[in-house]
Amino acid sequence: MQYLVSVIDDKSNPGSTDRQPAISAFNERLIAEGYWVFAGGLADTTAATVIDNRGEQAVFSDGPFVESKEYLAGVWVWEVPDLDVALKLATEASKVCDRKIEVRPFQ
């Protein structure tokens, strides 16, 4: 079962910026234990572009699809047996990243 694991940061109360070594170590463990599928940190939301080509012409707009205080700072994809395992890892991940984590199953 795969889960999208989102790291959520808060613009008005950002997590600490010195987490990279801890995150790397955590990633090593995810790989060693066979849970790791994918991981990536994201650039600032100001670097995002939204494309809407549902109409006649594609429309590009600068910025994220939703402006909010909280935003997606990075993602993982984990392959784990069930939600209990995902929640346990996510609980650790939240400490490691010093940020909130959302766990959402793929369909």
Decide: is 55 part of the binding site for other proteins (CB under 8 A): no
Beta carbon nearer to other proteins, 14 or 105: 105
Query: By CB under 8 A, which span of 21-29, 33-41, 51-59, 83-91 interacts with other proteins?
Result: 83-91
Number of residues that bind other proteins (CB under 8 A): 11
Amino acid code (one letter) for 102: E
Tokens for 70, please give them: 């909280």
**Burial of 5 by CB count in 10 Å (0-12 exposed, 13-18 middle, 19+ buried)?**
buried
- In whole angstroms, the minimum distance from the beta carbon of 70 to other proteins comes to 20
Spell out a b/e string for 54-70, using b for 16 or more CB atoms within 10 Å of the CB, else e: eeeeeeeeeebeeeeee
**CB of 64 vs other proteins, minimal distance in Å:** 25
Residues that bind other proteins (CB under 8 A): 1, 81-84, 87-88, 103-105, 107
